[in-house]
Protein backbone atom coordinates (compact mmCIF):
# COMPACT_ATOMS: atom_id res chain seq x y z
CA UNK A 1 0.00 0.00 0.00
CA UNK A 2 1.28 3.45 -0.90
CA UNK A 3 1.07 5.72 2.15
CA UNK A 4 2.16 8.95 0.53
CA UNK A 5 -0.90 10.50 -1.09
CA UNK A 6 1.13 12.55 -3.59
CA UNK A 7 2.89 9.43 -4.87
CA UNK A 8 -0.41 7.55 -5.09
CA UNK A 9 -1.91 10.52 -6.95
CA UNK A 10 0.95 10.58 -9.49
CA UNK A 11 0.69 6.83 -10.10
CA UNK A 12 -3.08 7.14 -10.49
CA UNK A 13 -2.72 9.87 -13.13
CA UNK A 14 -0.23 7.84 -15.20
CA UNK A 15 -2.28 4.63 -15.01
CA UNK A 16 -5.51 6.50 -15.78
CA UNK A 17 -4.04 8.09 -18.94
CA UNK A 18 -2.65 4.72 -20.12
CA UNK A 19 -5.95 2.90 -19.59
CA UNK A 20 -7.94 5.73 -21.17
CA UNK A 21 -5.86 5.48 -24.33
CA UNK A 22 -5.98 1.68 -24.34
CA UNK A 23 -9.78 1.77 -24.06
CA UNK A 24 -9.97 4.38 -26.79
CA UNK A 25 -7.79 2.28 -29.15
CA UNK A 26 -9.92 -0.81 -28.46
CA UNK A 27 -13.07 1.22 -29.14
CA UNK A 28 -11.69 2.46 -32.47
CA UNK A 29 -10.59 -1.03 -33.45
CA UNK A 30 -13.89 -2.63 -32.49
CA UNK A 31 -16.24 -0.02 -33.93
CA UNK A 32 -14.09 1.15 -36.84
CA UNK A 33 -13.68 4.81 -36.03
CA UNK A 34 -11.17 5.01 -38.85
CA UNK A 35 -7.75 6.57 -39.02
CA UNK A 36 -8.99 10.16 -38.77
CA UNK A 37 -9.01 9.89 -34.96
CA UNK A 38 -5.80 7.87 -34.68
CA UNK A 39 -3.08 8.79 -32.23
CA UNK A 40 -2.76 9.13 -28.52
CA UNK A 41 -4.79 11.75 -26.70
CA UNK A 42 -2.93 12.95 -23.64
CA UNK A 43 -4.77 16.16 -22.75
CA UNK A 44 -8.32 14.87 -22.16
CA UNK A 45 -7.46 11.89 -19.93
CA UNK A 46 -4.82 13.95 -18.15
CA UNK A 47 -7.38 16.60 -17.19
CA UNK A 48 -9.92 13.96 -16.10
CA UNK A 49 -7.26 12.08 -14.13
CA UNK A 50 -5.97 15.19 -12.38
CA UNK A 51 -9.45 16.33 -11.34
CA UNK A 52 -10.68 12.93 -10.14
CA UNK A 53 -7.33 12.02 -8.60
CA UNK A 54 -7.16 15.30 -6.72
CA UNK A 55 -10.61 14.73 -5.27
CA UNK A 56 -9.80 11.16 -4.29
CA UNK A 57 -6.19 11.42 -3.07
CA UNK A 58 -5.41 15.00 -2.15
CA UNK A 59 -8.62 16.76 -1.11
CA UNK A 60 -9.72 13.81 0.98
CA UNK A 61 -9.61 14.68 4.65
CA UNK A 62 -7.04 13.33 7.07
CA UNK A 63 -8.26 10.43 9.21
CA UNK A 64 -6.62 10.53 12.63
CA UNK A 65 -7.33 6.83 13.17
CA UNK A 66 -5.43 5.82 10.00
CA UNK A 67 -2.60 8.22 10.80
CA UNK A 68 -2.38 6.94 14.38
CA UNK A 69 -2.06 3.39 13.07
CA UNK A 70 0.81 4.56 10.85
CA UNK A 71 2.41 6.38 13.81
CA UNK A 72 2.23 3.24 15.95
CA UNK A 73 3.80 1.19 13.12
CA UNK A 74 6.60 3.70 12.48
CA UNK A 75 9.71 2.90 14.48
CA UNK A 76 10.87 5.74 16.73
CA UNK A 77 7.85 7.95 16.04
CA UNK A 78 6.63 10.55 18.52
CA UNK A 79 3.01 11.69 18.81
CA UNK A 80 2.56 15.34 19.78
CA UNK A 81 -0.70 16.83 21.04
CA UNK A 82 -0.48 20.55 20.26
CA UNK A 83 -3.60 21.53 22.21
CA UNK A 84 -3.43 23.54 25.41
CA UNK A 85 -2.40 21.84 28.66
CA UNK A 86 -5.98 22.06 29.88
CA UNK A 87 -7.37 20.39 26.74
CA UNK A 88 -4.67 17.70 26.98
CA UNK A 89 -5.51 16.95 30.61
CA UNK A 90 -9.17 16.42 29.72
CA UNK A 91 -8.30 13.54 27.39
CA UNK A 92 -5.54 12.66 24.95
CA UNK A 93 -4.29 9.77 22.84
CA UNK A 94 -2.34 7.33 25.05
CA UNK A 95 1.39 7.94 24.71
CA UNK A 96 1.04 11.42 23.21
CA UNK A 97 3.29 14.18 24.49
CA UNK A 98 1.75 17.61 25.07
CA UNK A 99 3.57 20.52 23.48
CA UNK A 100 1.05 23.34 23.01
CA UNK A 101 1.10 24.96 19.58
CA UNK A 102 2.28 28.30 20.94
CA UNK A 103 5.31 26.51 22.43
CA UNK A 104 6.11 24.26 19.46
CA UNK A 105 9.40 26.09 18.85
CA UNK A 106 10.61 24.52 22.14
CA UNK A 107 10.32 20.99 20.69
CA UNK A 108 14.07 20.61 20.17
CA UNK A 109 14.52 20.01 23.91
CA UNK A 110 12.11 17.06 23.67
CA UNK A 111 13.00 15.84 20.16
CA UNK A 112 16.56 16.92 19.26
CA UNK A 113 16.87 14.60 16.23
CA UNK A 114 15.17 16.43 13.36
CA UNK A 115 14.74 13.21 11.36
CA UNK A 116 12.50 11.68 14.05
CA UNK A 117 9.03 10.82 12.69
CA UNK A 118 6.70 13.33 14.39
CA UNK A 119 2.91 12.99 14.22
CA UNK A 120 0.88 15.98 15.44
CA UNK A 121 -2.79 16.39 16.31
CA UNK A 122 -5.12 18.91 17.96
CA UNK A 123 -8.90 19.17 18.26
CA UNK A 124 -9.86 19.59 14.60
CA UNK A 125 -6.54 19.57 12.71
CA UNK A 126 -5.88 23.26 12.07
CA UNK A 127 -3.44 23.89 14.95
CA UNK A 128 -1.58 20.69 14.16
CA UNK A 129 -1.36 21.76 10.49
CA UNK A 130 0.21 25.04 11.64
CA UNK A 131 2.57 23.15 13.95
CA UNK A 132 3.70 20.97 11.03
CA UNK A 133 4.56 24.09 9.03
CA UNK A 134 6.59 25.51 11.93
CA UNK A 135 8.38 22.21 12.50
CA UNK A 136 9.32 21.99 8.82
CA UNK A 137 10.75 25.53 8.88
CA UNK A 138 12.75 24.46 11.95
CA UNK A 139 14.28 21.65 9.89
CA UNK A 140 12.22 18.65 10.99
CA UNK A 141 12.00 16.41 7.94
CA UNK A 142 9.45 13.73 8.83
CA UNK A 143 6.38 15.54 10.21
CA UNK A 144 2.76 14.50 9.64
CA UNK A 145 -0.50 16.19 10.63
CA UNK A 146 -2.78 13.46 12.00
CA UNK A 147 -5.80 15.76 12.11
CA UNK A 148 -8.23 16.23 14.99
CA UNK A 149 -8.92 14.18 18.08
CA UNK A 150 -12.60 14.99 17.59
CA UNK A 151 -12.62 12.14 15.00
CA UNK A 152 -10.54 9.75 17.14
CA UNK A 153 -12.30 6.45 17.90
CA UNK A 154 -10.00 5.01 20.56
CA UNK A 155 -9.69 5.38 24.30
CA UNK A 156 -8.24 8.52 25.82
CA UNK A 157 -6.02 9.02 28.82
CA UNK A 158 -6.88 11.64 31.41
CA UNK A 159 -4.46 13.67 33.51
CA UNK A 160 -5.06 15.04 36.95
CA UNK A 161 -4.70 18.78 37.14
CA UNK A 162 -2.08 19.82 39.56
**Which positions are catalytic?**
122
Are 13 and 46 in contact by the 8 Å Cβ rule? The answer is yes
Catalogue the long-range contacts made by 154-162 (C-beta closer than 8 Å, 24 or more residues apart).
154/65, 154/68, 154/93, 154/94, 155/94, 156/91, 156/92, 156/93, 156/94, 157/91, 157/92, 157/93, 157/94, 158/89, 158/90, 158/91, 159/88, 159/89, 159/92, 160/89, 161/86, 161/89
Amino acid sequence: MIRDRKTAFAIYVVVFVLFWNLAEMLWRTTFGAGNNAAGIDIVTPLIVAIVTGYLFFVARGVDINDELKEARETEGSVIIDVRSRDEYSQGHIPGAINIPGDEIDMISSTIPDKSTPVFTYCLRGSRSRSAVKVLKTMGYTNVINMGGINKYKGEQELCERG
